[in-house]
Structure 1
Amino acid sequence: MPDLAMSLALHGVLLFVVACVQGFLIPVAASPRLALTAHSKAVIHAAALALCAVSVLSGAVVLGPTASRIALALLAGGAWLSLIGDVWASHQGRGSHLPLAAQAAGQPCDPAEQDYAVPKPSRRPAAGKPLVSTMLVKASAVLMLAGGLVLLYGAGWSLLLI
């Protein structure tokens, strides 16, 4: 179990350091607001990885070797994919991204997405293929959710009753 905790913690620290460096690049992004979103999400994901490491290290989550590898791949992979997708979107020039982030950044939404930042009657239908950055961000959310479920599988539920 210490191996999983150590790996999660190291990914968290590395992601935090990369997010700090990426923060200095916000002004040169085609969409600085999306770059700020990438920076903020990476810091939050780094903290989430650290908290997952603490839950494993404390014994609140106990997983076997295979489940540990799966949890690590899903959680760390999801965190890194999110950073890559968000940074990619912020430097694309078009600034296209998922609807709410695009609206906050004053950028157009990915044309393949229904713009749920617009009231339903006014929405235009989604058209075309989704951008790679959009697919990366969506995949990262699914990966991190699945990783969290693996951790919950190994959770000591009796600890909630103490």
Structure 2
Amino acid sequence: MSDEVLHLALGRHTSADIWASVSSALGSTSEARCINLLGQFQHLRQGNSTIADYLARVGVLVESLIQAGRPLSLMEQTLYVTRGLRPELKSLATSLTASGAQVTLSNLSDFLQAHEFILVDDYPMANGAASPVALYAGTGRGSHGGCGRQSSNQHRGGGGGRGKRDGQQQR
């Protein structure tokens, strides 16, 4: 069972109980369920997931929509999948679909996984190998409102630890 539906099996003691729980939860054909599933699909994002993990989540939603009586066309599936990809993979997916030929999720998966493999060294964040870093670049002039920066005299040790006072430089 996938992680997305594993919670439906909790507390069930027989395979028949598990099957009944899963099929009733995923087999609902109500309008509200269809809208909920479509909303989940539209807001699905790859984030730091691999292509395989991302497309596994896509597969669960596609199957759930089929069971709910609202199957998506290949074009809709490709559109939602492409929309949720990380930026470095979107261009490839867009170029694959620009030809007008229908692309199956399986074909898209093959191309994206190959491209992800090629990019692995260029985008280490995709695999959680690096942490984000925030850098600050300033002009280096004055104290900037007392935000922890010292004047240039203080950096050089001049002026007995005092910077500018009352608009006049210390000598």
Same fold (TM over 0.5): no
The structure carrying a bigger helix percent of its residues is 1
Larger of the two Rg values belongs to structure: 2
TM-score between both structures, scaled by the size of structure 1: 0.29
Higher relative contact order, structure no. (Cα contacts within 8 Å, ≥ 6 residues apart): 1
TM-score by length of 2: 0.28
